[in-house]
């Protein structure tokens, strides 16, 4: 991205006729992410034949697209001496157990206190740069109020190889969750595509035009009002477990976005923990698997459910 606004002119040829404009621009302007492309469309910085269009506009052969790329305004991200719960570390990767309430990388409203700030202090300049200056080392993420195991990369070599495993769903990711309502089955699979909600852009929704999303679940223990489940991701879409569990009538305890948010327990956000992460080490080629123990708040809820039979 340039340091000042830039205007681009693109002509649509016959090969792209009928393609959604956000896909066309993502495929053409490969230096920008799809989310960035969608943002500039939403901000009315993309014109098709001198008219503002939406992301679902389908380009036609002969269309002239006028794109204004805004000035890059990158906040200064500072290292911060924040304690890290390190599960494993070597010259290529660092595996951490992220606490509840910590944002993974800086974003609007969260430019300090993030995992990236802590990693920058701990690793100095030894973090991958593939995801840009605001996300050094970050190859995947979990939500602010989700706890658990996360791998970050110290160099681009490691980053590209971990990212490649993520792209083809070769990474083992198992989560523990406490959800509302007991199950009548021992296990199951939710195979439902996800996309940004058309009603609320801050939410994710099941949408047949979205990207394929698959969650396998296994009931660990049923209670009267709740259930303790293990969810294994086949894909890793934003809010995937939260949306999928809610869609089958089992919203996560404490989830105020995809559930009611009500809870008999004093917790912040959803009861979701990334417990197991497994992948092939980028340099040695050996499969490694890491586990983060259930956080105290999660275990206390399970103990109460066992004792009081909620």
Which of the residues are catalytic?
143
Residue 270 CA to chain centroid, in angstroms? 15
Per the structure block, which two tokens stand in for 43?
Answer: 């901000």
40 Cβ partners below 8 Å, 6+ apart? 46, 67, 68, 69, 70
- How many Cβ atoms are within 10 Å of 15's Cβ, its own excluded? 7
Contact 79, 121 (CB under 8 A): yes
Q: How far apart are CA 22 and CA 207, in angstroms?
A: 17
Q: Which of 211, 222, 228 is nearest to 23 (CA)?
A: 211
| Residues 121 and 81: beta-carbon distance below 8 Å | yes
What is the H or E stretch that residue 93 is in?
Answer: strand 93-98
């Amino acid at each position: 991205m340039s340091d000042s606004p830039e205007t681009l002119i693109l002509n649509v040829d016959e090969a792209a006729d009928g393609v959604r404009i956000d896909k066309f621009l993502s495929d053409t302007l490969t230096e920008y992410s799809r989310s960035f492309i969608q943002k500039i469309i939403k901000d009315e910085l993309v014109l098709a034949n001198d008219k503002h269009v939406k992301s679902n506009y389908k380009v036609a052969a002969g269309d002239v697209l006028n794109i204004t790329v805004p000035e890059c305004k990158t906040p200064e991200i500072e290292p911060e001496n924040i304690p890290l719960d390190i599960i494993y570390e070597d010259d290529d990767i660092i595996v951490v157990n992220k606490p509840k309430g910590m944002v993974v990388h800086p974003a609007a409203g969260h430019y300090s206190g993030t995992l990236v700030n802590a990693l920058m202090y701990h690793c100095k300049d030894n973090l991958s740069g593939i995801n840009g200056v605001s996300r050094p080392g970050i190859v995947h993420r979990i939500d602010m109020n989700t706890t658990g195991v996360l791998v970050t990369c110290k160099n681009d070599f490691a980053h590209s190889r971990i990212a490649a495993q993520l792209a083809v769903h070769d990474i083992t990711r198992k989560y523990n969750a406490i959800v509302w309502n007991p199950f009548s089955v021992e296990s199951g699979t939710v195979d439902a595509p996800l996309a940004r909600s058309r009603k609320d852009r801050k939410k994710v929704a099941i949408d047949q035009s979205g990207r394929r999303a698959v969650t396998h679940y296994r009931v660990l223990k049923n209670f009267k009002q709740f259930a303790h489940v293990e969810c294994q991701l086949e894909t890793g879409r934003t809010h995937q477990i939260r949306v999928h569990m809610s869609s089958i009538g089992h919203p996560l305890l404490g989830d105020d976005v995809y559930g009611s948010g009500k809870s008999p327990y004093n917790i912040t956000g959803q009861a979701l923990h990334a417990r197991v992460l497994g992948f092939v080490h980028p340099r040695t080629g050996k499969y490694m698997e890491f586990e983060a123990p259930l956080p105290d708040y999660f275990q206390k809820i399970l103990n109460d459910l066992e004792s009081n039979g909620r």
